[in-house]
A and B are shown apart, each in its own frame.
Chain A
Amino acid sequence: MSTIKKVSTAKPALVRRNSCVAALLAGHSALGLGFCALIYLICLSGAIAVFERELQRWEQPAIPTVTRIGPQAIETAIAMLRRHAPRESAASITITLPAPDRPQLLVSAGGHEGKGGRDWYADENGNLVAEVRHPVASFISGLHTDLHLPLFLGRMVVGISGIALLCLIISGALAHTRIFKDAFRLRLGGSHRLELADMHNRLGTWVLPFALIISFTGAFVALFFFMFAGVAATTYRGDMDKAFTDLAGPFPKHDVRAQPLPPITPLMERVRRPPVAVIESIDIQQPGTRGQQIGLNLRGSDPLLGAARIVFDGGGRQIHSSAALPHSIPQQLLLATQPVHFGWFGGIGVKIAYGLLGIALCVTTSTGAQIWLQRRRDKGHPAPTCERLWIAVKWGQPVAITLAVWTALIGYSEALPAVVWLAASAATLLGAAFLDATNRLELWLRIALAFALAAVAVSHVCRCYASQAVMDYWLIDGLILIGSVAVGLTSRRPPVFV
Chain B
Amino acid sequence: MSNTILLSAALASCAASVYFLKRATVSRSGAWRWVLAALVTASLALFAAIEALGTGFGLVVAVLTLILAGLSTVFAGAERRTGRKPDTVIEPRAMEREDRHGQRWRGWVRGFSALLLAAITANALGAGLVGIAPGLAADRFAVGLLSVPLLWSGFAIWMVSDRVLSRPLCGMAGTLVASAGMIAWSLLA
SS class of chain A's interface: helix, strand, loop or mixed?
A: helix
User: Which B residue sits closest to A354, measured CB to CB?
Assistant: B64
A106-131 interface (Cβ within 8 A of B): none
Are B141 and A302 in contact, with the CB atoms below 8 A? no
> Is A193 interfacial (CB 8 A cutoff)?
yes
Q: A183 to B25, Cβ gap below 8 A? A: yes
> Which residues in A have their C-beta under 8 angstroms from that of B64?
210, 350, 353, 357
What sequence of 0s and 1s flags, for each residue 336-351 of chain A, a beta carbon within 8 Å of any chain B beta carbon? 1100100001100010
Q: Which of A139-183 contact B (CB under 8 A)?
A: 160, 162-164, 166-167, 170-171, 180-183
Other-chain contact of B55, A171, A242, A243, A302 (Cβ < 8 Å): A302
Of A183, A186, A247, A378, the contact of B87 (CB 8 Å cutoff): A378
| A31 is an interface residue with CB less than 8 A from chain B | yes
Contact of A340 with B60 in the complex, beta carbons under 8 Å: yes
| A171 cross-chain contacts in B, Cβ below 8 A | 157, 160-161
B124 to chain A, nearest CB (A): 7
Q: How many residues of chain B have a CB within 8 Å of chain A?
A: 76
The winner among B64, B71, B107 for most chain A CB atoms within 10 A is B64
Cβ A183 vs Cβ B21 within 8 A: yes
Determine the chain B residues whose CB is within 8 A of the CB of A378 once the complex forms.
87-90
- 12 contacts across the A-B interface (CB closer than 8 A): A167-B157, A185-B79, A189-B83, A189-B84, A191-B88, A194-B87, A230-B126, A231-B148, A304-B54, A305-B56, A356-B68, A379-B90
B126 A210 Cβ-Cβ under 8 A: no
Inter-subunit contact A187/B78 (CB<8 Å): yes
**Number of A-B residue pairs with CB-CB distance less than 8 Å in the complex they form:** 230
Q: In the complex, which residue of chain B has the Cβ closest to the Cβ of A301? A: B54
- Closest-CB distance, A2 to chain B (whole angstroms): 25
Closest approach, in angstroms, between the C-beta of B148 and any C-beta of chain A?
Answer: 5
A375 to B78, CA, bound (A): 23
B71-A206 in contact (CB<8A): yes
Those of B48-84 within 8 Å (CB) of chain A: 51, 53-57, 60-61, 63-64, 66-68, 70-71, 73-75, 77-84
The yes or no answer to A26 lying at the interface (CB within 8 A) is: yes
Question: B125-149 toward A: CB 8 Å interface, digit per residue (1/0)?
Answer: 0111011000011111111111011
CA gap between A266 and B143 in the complex, in Å: 37
B67, B156, B163: the one contacting A357 at CB < 8 Å is: B67
The 6 closest A-B pairs by CB, nearest first: A302-B54, A304-B56, A27-B161, A234-B131, A189-B81, A190-B81
Q: Which of A302-316 contact B (CB under 8 A)?
A: 302-306
Look across to chain B and name the residue whose beta carbon is closest to the beta carbon of A360. B71
CA distance A401 to B84 in the complex (A): 33
Residues of A with C-beta under 8 A to B70: 183, 206
B123 within 8 A of A: yes
Are B84's CB and A163's CB within 8 A? no
Q: Tell me how far the C-beta of A35 lies from the nearest C-beta in chain B, rounded to whole angstroms.
A: 11
A167 and B127 in contact, given A209-B67, A303-B57 (Cβ under 8 angstroms): no
- Give the docked Cα–Cα distance between A138 and B114 (Å): 32
In the complex, chain A residues whose CB is within 8 Å of the CB of B25:
180-184
Once the chains are docked, how many angstroms separate the CA of A275 from the CA of B162? 53
**CB of B120, distance to nearest CB on chain A (Å):** 9
CB atoms of A223 and B149 under 8 A apart: yes
What 10 new A-B contacts, CB under 8 Å, besides A24-B157, A166-B153, A302-B56? Answer: A28-B161, A183-B25, A186-B77, A191-B86, A209-B67, A220-B145, A243-B141, A328-B142, A350-B60, A357-B64
B31 shortest CB reach to chain A, Å = 15
Residues from chain B with a CB closer than 8 A to the CB of A374 are 87
A384 CB to nearest B CB, Å? 17
Instruction: Contact check, B57 vs A345: say whether CB atoms are below 8 A apart.
Output: yes
Tell me if A34 is interfacial: C-beta within 8 Å of chain B. Answer: yes
Contact check, A186 vs B74: say whether CB atoms are below 8 A apart: yes
Q: Are A216 and B87 in contact (CB under 8 A)?
A: no
Q: Is there a chain A Cβ closer than 8 Å to B14's Cβ? A: no
Interface flag for A207 (CB, 8 Å):
yes
Q: Give B18's nearest chain A residue, CB to CB.
A: A184
B149 touches A230 (CB 8 A): no
Taken together as a complex, chains A and B put the C-alpha atoms of A213 and B142 apart, in Å, by: 17
Instruction: Quote the shortest CB–CB distance from B75 to chain A (angstroms).
Output: 7
